[in-house]
Amino acid sequence: MFENLSDRLDSVFKKLKGHGTLNEKNIDDGLKQVRMALLEADVNYKVAKSVISDIKERALGQEVMQSLTPGQQVIKIVNDEFTRMMGSEHQGLNFDGSSLGSIMLIGLQGSGKTTTAGKLALYLRKEGRKPFLVPVDVYRPAAIDQLKKIGQQLDVPVFESTTEMKPLKICQDALLAAREQGCDTLLLDTAGRLHLDEELMAELKGIKQGINPSEILLVADAMTGQDAVNIAGSFDKALDLDGVVLTKMDGDARGGAALSIKAVTGKPLKFIGVGEKSTALEAFHPDRMASRILGMGDTLSFIEKAQDAVDQKEAKALEKKLRKNAFTLEDFRNQMKSIKKMGSIKDLIGMLPGINKKQLKGLNIGDKEFVRIEAIINSMTPEERRVHTIIKGSRKKRIANGSGTTVQDVNKLLKSYSQSMKMIKKFNKGGMRSLKNMLPF
Ligand code: GDP
């Protein structure tokens, strides 16, 4: 899924990361390549053009964040814009609070409707609902049998449709039968055709009017690329879809349909099929998918955490103090708080690509350690926080008592702080590049 696009983007970003600063020229060059990569992934031409222009506008107007390199910033913007293009947030199924919900699955023959009906039954059951499978394709006896078999395998009840019944009547009777059997969600597996045709549309419209389903989901084959997007557009015009399920994403290395369907049709991609098995269904989360495409889910969460935790003004003030070697224990504690907001240091560093996990062994600063350090510093007087050398034996004991720690803990902290100060001095001599390098660990 998305392998080609991921590979292409990876090489674009590698190049961007090589630039110390970004200007209009190198951003333009990079974005030209991103655009090419999108078109190669079979993304709709207009969608690609518009997303690139949004990325460029943001990349040029962006306030420079000290905690990120220019390359990282562009990746972050591309990630945000891809997320937006795919619909921002995951859209779930609507049940309008009704006690008996119904999901009408529509789509061309072979798109994966029947398989998806089974997958959704399993998904809904995990969500605590009681699904009821309803074969509505009366033109193909094999389709009815196929759904019955899926129902048996999953132990989900299936309505006893026959080829003599009219589709609308099946749906109406199935509503009653579902209630009788204690089910609360109907999955209507409607008939498909090889091509869109008027007769089929009329039948589907009739069912829609007759039973007013809580959700109309189009099932489309991702491997057909932009055809899937066009089909979604046509079905949407006729039936006003609530959402789309793209199947066979496991076999689609390009991903153009998934990337453009929301932007072109305005309708959200709610689920993706990623295999033939009943469990191979994923709720579609645009943000997670964007990170997956960029091949850097973890790095992006790192960047976001860093953005949340490091207040830029605070960072500047701190940097000034560090330069003047005036970084007190109080600053040390405040910086700890920022770091704590980011979670365990070890986890954070472990998220960065290229980090050898073995190297992290010695880095054992857990949350408990933070609490202890904070408590110790809180038990000091303001003067002691400014000039730590005045803390002698008896005061160490009082501080340890006040913070519920031991004298050894206090000594350990003071030692670690002194070492940090030495490191800072060294950095100051050698020229300090960013706050990131100044963490006292
Ligand atoms: P329908 O005619 O729309 O009901 O389509 P089916 O449910 O019968 O599916 C057609 C074919 O696509 C079957 O061979 C399914 O196993 C296969 N299929 C459906 N969804 C997926 C999927 O997400 N991944 C893969 N690899 N195959 C799928």
Model pLDDT for residues 129-150, shown as the tens digit of each residue: 999 999 999 998 899 999 999 9
pLDDT score, position 158: 97
Predicted confidence band of residue 259 (pLDDT cuts 50, 70, 90) = very high
Q: Are residues 355 and 273 in the same domain?
A: no
108 is in an annotated binding site: yes
Q: Looking at ligand 1, which residue's alpha carbon is closest to its atom 28?
A: 276
Mean pLDDT calculated for residue range 236-249: 95
> Is the shortest distance between the CB of 24 and ligand 1 below 6 Å?
no
Average pLDDT, the chain: 82
Question: Is 431 found in the same domain as 330?
Answer: yes
Which of 108, 115, 252 maximizes ligand 1 atoms within 8 Å of its Cβ, making it the mutation to test the pocket? Answer: 115
Q: What is the DSSP string of 35-96?
A: HHHHHHTT--HHHHHHHHHHHHHHHHHPPPPTTS-HHHHHHHHHHHHHHHHTTSS------T
Q: Which two tokens stand for residue 404?
A: 């519920």
* pLDDT score of 354 more than 50: no
For residue 48, what pLDDT is reported?
92
Q: Please, what's the largest Cα pairwise distance for the chain?
A: 94
**Closest Cα to atom 6 of ligand 1:** 112
* pLDDT > 70: percent of the chain: 77
Please list, in sequence order, all residues whose beta carbon lies within 8 angstroms of the beta carbon of residue 29, skipping any fewer than 6 positions away.
none
pLDDT grade, residue 340 (50/70/90)?
low
Any domain includes 352: yes
261 and 133 in a common domain: yes
pLDDT at 364 over 80: no
ipTM associated with this complex: 0.99
CATH number of the domain encompassing residue 420: 1.10.260.30
Q: Is the CB of 192 under 6 A from ligand 1?
A: yes
Q: Sign of dihedral through CA atoms 274, 279, 282, 288?
A: negative
pLDDT band at residue 434 using 50, 70 and 90 as cut-offs: very low
Mean pLDDT of the region 235-252: 93
Estimate the share of the chain in helix, then strand, then coil, as percent rounded to the nearest 5. 60, 10, 30
- For residues 50 and 29, the model is more confident at 50
Bridging pattern class, strands 281-283 and 243-247:
unpaired
Between CA 3 and CA 8, with CA 5 as vertex, the angle to 5 degrees is: 110
Residues 246 and 182 in one domain: yes
Residue 85 pLDDT: 92
Of 26-30, 87-91, 279-283, 384-388, where does mean pLDDT reach its minimum?
26-30
From the CB of 69, is ligand 1 less than 6 Å away? no
Residue that has been written with the tokens 């400014």 in this structure: 386
Domain end call among 62, 88, 114 = 88
Residue whose Cα lies nearest atom 16 of ligand 1: it is 276
Q: Which two tokens stand for residue 2?
A: 């998305």
Q: Which of 204, 247, 278, 282 to mutate to test the pocket of ligand 1 (most atoms within 8 A of CB)?
A: 247
Q: How far is the CA of 230 from the centre of ligand 1 (A)?
A: 20
What was the pLDDT predicted at 241? 96
- What CATH number corresponds to the domain at position 242? 3.40.50.300
- Mean pLDDT, range 347-354, rounded to an integer: 50
- What mean pLDDT is predicted for residues 418-428? 68
72, 193: one domain: no
Pair 212, 145 in one domain = yes
In a domain, 217, yes or no: yes
243 and 168 inside one domain: yes
Q: What is the CATH number of the domain that holds 44?
A: 1.20.120.140
DSSP 392-439: -HHHHHHHHHHHT--HHHHHHHHHHHHHHHHHHHHHHHH----GGGG-
Output the CA 154–ligand 1 centroid distance in Å: 17
Q: For the whole prediction, is pTM greater than 0.80?
A: no
Ligand 1 pocket check for 275: Cβ under 6 Å: yes
In a domain, 24, yes or no: yes
Asked if residue 93 belongs to a domain, the reply is no
User: Does the CB atom of residue 83 touch ligand 1 within 6 A?
Assistant: no
* Cα 389–chain centre separation: 48
- The answer to whether residue 296 is domain-embedded is no
List the one residue out of 7, 5, 56, 9 whose CA is nearest residue 28. 56
Domain boundary among 35, 67, 88: 88
- Joined tokens for residue 204: 């589907």
Q: Which residue has the tokens 């937006």?
A: 84
Give a yes or no: residue 413 inside a domain.
yes
Residues 73 and 114 reside in one and the same domain: no
Q: In this structure, what token pair is assigned to residue 276?
A: 């033939």
Residue 113 assigned as binding residue: yes
Q: Residues with Cβ < 8 Å from 311, sequence gap 6 or more? A: 338
With cut-offs at 50, 70 and 90, classify the pLDDT of residue 255. Answer: confident
The helix/strand/coil state of 173 is helix
Does residue 265 share a domain with residue 124? yes
pLDDT of residue 193: 80
Task: Please say which residue of 284, 301, 325 terminates a domain.
Answer: 284
Higher pLDDT, 92 or 310: 92
**pLDDT above 70 (res 222):** yes
When mean pLDDT is compared over 16-30, 85-99, 335-349, the highest value belongs to: 85-99
CA 388, CA 409: separation in Å to the nearest integer? Answer: 15
Residues 70, 152, single domain; the answer is: no
Give CA separation, 117 vs 104, 134, 230, 241, 281, in Å: 9, 9, 22, 17, 11
User: Is the Cβ atom of 276 under 6 angstroms away from ligand 1?
Assistant: yes
Asked if residue 315 and residue 266 are part of one domain, the reply reads no
Q: Is residue 293 part of a domain?
A: no
Number of structural domains in the chain: 3
Mean pLDDT of 363-369: 59
Query: What pLDDT was estimated at residue 341?
Result: 57
Q: How many helices (H) and strands (E) does the chain have?
A: 19, 7
pLDDT tens digits for 31-75? 898 899 899 888 998 999 999 999 888 887 765 555 566 677 788
Q: Which residue has the higher pLDDT, 344 or 169?
A: 169
Determine if ligand 1 sits within 6 Å of the CB of residue 111.
yes
Return phi, psi of residue 378, to 5°: -60, -30
- 256 CA → ligand 1 middle, Å: 19
Return the closest-CA partner of residue 386 out of 325, 427, 440: 325
Q: Does 110 contact ligand 1 (Cβ within 6 A)?
A: yes
Does 432 count as an annotated binding residue? Answer: no
Domain assignment present for residue 297? The answer is no
Which pLDDT does position 62 carry in this prediction?
A: 63
**For range 112-134, the mean pLDDT:** 95
Q: Are residues 35 and 111 in the same domain?
A: no
For the segment 274-285, what is each residue's pLDDT rounded down to a tens digit? 999 998 898 998
Residue 37 · residue 8 · CB < 8 Å: yes
Is the CB of 114 within 6 Å of ligand 1?
yes
Mean pLDDT of 379-403: 91
Please say whether the beta carbons of 432 and 324 come within 8 A.
no
Q: Is the pLDDT of residue 297 over 60?
A: no
CB of 273 closer than 6 angstroms to any ligand 1 atom: yes
- Cβ atoms 286, 86 nearer than 8 A: yes
pLDDT score for 226: 92
Q: What's the pLDDT score for residue 355?
A: 46
**Which pLDDT score, from 0 to 100, does residue 421 have?**
74
Q: Per the annotation, does 225 bind a ligand?
A: no
Domain of residue 10 covers 3-88
Instruction: Return the exposure string of 105-141: e unless at least 16 CB atoms fall within 10 Å of the residue's CB, then b.
Output: bbbbeebbbbbbbbbbbbbbeeeebebbbbbbbbeee
Ligand 1 contacts CB of residue 101 (under 6 A): no
